[in-house]
Amino acid sequence: MDASLSLPRVYPRQEHGISRSQINDNALKVMYRLRKAGYQAYLVGGCVRDLLLGREPKDFDVVTDAHPDQIKAVFRNCRLIGRRFRLAHVHFGREVIEVATFRALSTDEDDGSENGDRLTKNGRILRDNIYGTIEEDAWRRDFTVNALYYNIQDFSVVDYVGGMDDHKAGSLRLIGDPEQRYREDAVRMLRAVRFATKLGFVIHPACAEPLPRLAPLLAEIPAARLFDEVVKLFLSGYALQNFEQLRHYDLFHQLFPLTDEALSLQGEGYPLTFVAKALKNTDARVAENQPVAPYFLFAALLWEPVRIQAEAAIASGMHEIVAYQEAAADVTDEQADYTAYPRAISLAMRDVWQLQPRFNYRLGSRPLRLLSHPRFRAAYDFLLLRAETGSAEPELAEWWTQFQAADEAGQKAMAAGQKTGSTAASRKKRKPRRRGPSSRKSDVATDA
């Protein structure tokens, strides 16, 4: 074993709040078993950080000085994964505990590069797969509060980087020189925002200062990795705050340049309200453990560029259905250079956009056909959001709400242009329909 270069601060059991009852049983089993086989075993990273805050961690990551083959020899229910850097997965039914060997050097977890120099000329890390000591393992991590180790041997917390003090102060601080750490891996800039909002921590001034300046480094990050980060930023319950912080640090532009330009075109008017409302709804759903769909979120974030392009085409004479189809295709394509989404997501998001102008056609067979479209529900939710924030007539949304609730006869009557039918919908008290000048255009042009 390597001799350590510096002594860690060790916080014994009585000086921190982590108790074994908060720790996943299988993670405990894994650590005890490693210990019994003569190896070290610690919890590290997000789980230690979250346990110190009294929060339930997403997952429990174990680190050890045992090498992957040695880990495999200790557990029957163990599989080694990863080519570039091997990790052990210990299986307990459907649950998996990830066990990693201490690694040296700072790292770029998901870069996916297989070879090449370790650093590019800009200082970006491309490759690292060297086992190390616990101390080296600590220094390669990103934020001090992510580099705390819970030692199963004596239940202490081991701190090489001052993470405990930062944790107490609510300060999110990179280990080492901030600019260098961002240059090694620009995704750390997004992680800074994500952890600060999630934990309610303040980004240390020295780590906040370089953000707007270094934001363009995100252009070097593979678009597929940025997609993953965007999903974490916007689907984990802090979407609105992350949106505001990303804009504040000029990071948003690197992820959604089309949206950012569209928003600045409009000043602080309704498009911003639309995006903010969509993000707020997403956060509320996450808080209630309701499912949230990435495609809906992307559809909301990119709606304004789609709308602007489509409306410009309509103004120069294109049919609105075609205009929205073309704008949807173009924006999807362009955005894929920044956040490479899976095909299912781009198709679903395009459906949501393309169905928007179809809501304008309320006569004849078209409303029923729209109702049976597999993406109707999402498109309707999207319409509601537009109506709430001024980019669609509230009356239009209301019509569709009633149309869905109506029985067959009622739907027929509504599609025949009657205000009410002899239906459940008609029995509800309704405000008289207001005939706004802008909302009528499409009804005139229906195929009825």
Footprint on this chain of Mg ion (rule: CB under 5 A): 46
- The smaller minimum CB distance to Mg ion, of residues 46 and 163, is found at 46
**Contacts to ligand ATP from residues 137-176, by CB under 6 A:** 141-142, 146-147
| Active-site annotation holder among 50, 108, 128, 142 | 142
DSSP 106: -
> Which long-range contacts (C-beta less than 8 Å, at least 24 apart) are formed by 400-408?
400/359, 402/428, 402/430, 403/362, 403/367, 403/371, 404/371, 404/380
Contact 172, 196 (CB under 8 A): yes
Q: Is 46 in the site for ligand ATP (CB under 6 A)?
A: yes
Q: Is 259 in the site for ligand ATP (CB under 6 A)?
A: no
Region class of 223: left (phi > 0), else alpha (psi between -120 and 50), else beta: alpha
In angstroms, the CA 340 to CA 89 distance is 28
| Active-site annotation holder among 61, 166, 185, 260 | 61
- The smaller minimum CB distance to ligand ATP, of residues 124 and 358, is found at 124
Token readout for 363 is: 């006569």
- The smaller minimum CB distance to ligand ATP, of residues 107 and 259, is found at 107
- The smaller minimum CB distance to Mg ion, of residues 109 and 333, is found at 109
Q: Is 177 in the site for ligand ATP (CB under 6 A)?
A: no
Contact 96, 90 (CB under 8 A): yes
Q: Is 108 in the site for ligand ATP (CB under 6 A)?
A: yes
**Contacts to ligand ATP from residues 296-335, by CB under 6 A:** none
- The smaller minimum CB distance to ligand ATP, of residues 235 and 310, is found at 235
For residue 265, give every residue at least 6 positions away whose Cβ sits within 8 Å of its Cβ, in sequence order, or none.
Answer: 308
- The smaller minimum CB distance to Mg ion, of residues 195 and 380, is found at 195
**Contacts to ligand ATP from residues 48-67, by CB under 6 A:** 58
Residue 166 appears among annotated catalytic residues: no
Q: Is 107 in the site for ligand ATP (CB under 6 A)?
A: yes
Stretch binding ligand ATP (CB under 6 A), from 184-192, 207-215, 278-286, 346-354: 184-192
Token readout for 360 is: 């304008």
DSSP string across 158-178: EESSSHHHHHHHTEE-BSS-H
Residue 111 appears among annotated catalytic residues: no
Closest by CA position to 175, among listed 198, 151, 159: 159
We find the least distance from the C-beta atom of residue 309 to ligand ATP, in angstroms, to be 35
Q: Exposed, middle or buried, 373 (CB in 10 Å: 0-12/13-18/19+)?
A: middle
Residue 2 appears among annotated catalytic residues: no
Q: Which residue is nearest to Mg ion (CB)?
A: 46
The residue within the footprint of ligand ATP, chosen from 16, 127, 167, 188 (CB under 6 A), is 188
Q: Is 185 in the site for ligand ATP (CB under 6 A)?
A: yes
For residue 78, give every residue at least 6 positions away whose Cβ sits within 8 Å of its Cβ, in sequence order, or none.
Answer: 71, 72, 88, 89, 90, 91, 99
Q: How many CB atoms lie within 10 A of CB 385?
A: 21
Contact 361, 367 (CB under 8 A): yes
Q: Is 187 in the site for ligand ATP (CB under 6 A)?
A: yes
Considering CB distances under 5 to 8 angstroms, the limit depending on partner class, which of ligand ATP, Mg ion, none binds residue 188? ligand ATP
Question: So which residues are the catalytic ones?
Answer: 59, 61, 142
Residues making contact with ligand ATP (CB under 6 A): 45-46, 58, 107-109, 141-142, 146-147, 185, 187-188
